[in-house]
Amino acid sequence: MHVVITGASRGVGAELRRIYEAAGHEVTGTSRKGEDGLHAVEMTDAASITAFGKALAGKPVDLLVCNAGILPDRNETLDTGYPAEMWAEELAVNVTAPFLCVQALLPNLRAATGKIAIISSQMGSSTLAKGNSLIYRVSKAAALNLGLNLSTLLKSDGIPVGIYHPGWVRTDMGGTSAAISPRESAEGLSTRFADLSPGTTGCFMNWDGRPHAI
């Protein structure tokens, strides 16, 4: 199996890479800097994503994991925070980039009748609108909606699309007080990805297999 993982240099993405490589699968990963054998892909740059797709031309992809994401607006205030530049960057990485990655790798996914996993967040759930980190919440809600619509568009290709909350994870983004380790999250997610099928396309799932409210 050939697995493509964006944001594979640390955290959950790095653990997913380790899990799949340990199982004998071929993994193509991306990071901003391209360290440790990863492809250097700048998720805010459409040309960089297009070039990545061209680098994999003719190579079937069995699973695309859109994992790269940022959360710079954790401490912004409504009255004076959330500058326009922050909106642009965060939406580019968390929403536009997953779409562009899917678009760039569609021939590869079709060649393998592959799967797409989009990492969203419980913070993208409309039922859990708590009012903080507005840009991140909006971006992850959009990523969720993107996945739901892609699941409809790609149904005729037999390519299932799942959307996932990775849990509250002890990473740079989640902080040291978070509930689970990157390894726990990645192990749960890899099981969810294995279960993804045309019959479950469009699912929004927790890392541990519980359905998540949209």
Summarised one tens digit per residue, pLDDT across range 53-84 is: 999 999 999 999 999 999 999 999 999 999 99
CATH number of the domain bearing residue 36: 3.40.50.720
Tell me if 213 is assigned to some domain. Answer: no
Q: Is residue 164 part of a domain?
A: yes
Residue given tokens 């021939």 in the structure block: 107
DSSP 3-state assignment of 21?
helix
Please count the structural domains in the chain. 1
pTM score: 0.96
Q: Are 124 and 141 in contact (CB under 8 A)?
A: yes
Residues spanned by the domain of 33? 2-206
Q: Residue 211 domain-assigned?
A: no
Report the b/e string of 151-170 with b at 16+ CB within 10 A.
Answer: beebeeeebbbbbbbbbbbb
176 falls within a domain = yes
Inform me whether the pLDDT recorded for 178 exceeds 90: no
In three state form, how does the secondary structure of 104-123 look? HCHHHHHHHCCEEEEECCHH
Does residue 45 fall inside a structural domain? yes
Q: At a CB cut-off of 8 Å and minimum separation 6, what does 53 contact? A: 101, 103, 104, 105, 108
Q: What is the pLDDT of residues 23-59, one digit of tens each?
A: 999 999 999 999 999 999 999 999 999 999 999 999 9
Each residue's pLDDT tens digit, 186-202 = 999 999 999 999 999 99
Is residue 214 situated within a structural domain?
Answer: no
With beta carbons less than 8 A apart as the criterion, state whether 16 and 76 touch: no
* pLDDT above 80 for 94: yes
The verdict on residue 50 lying in a domain is yes
Residue 166 lies in a domain: yes
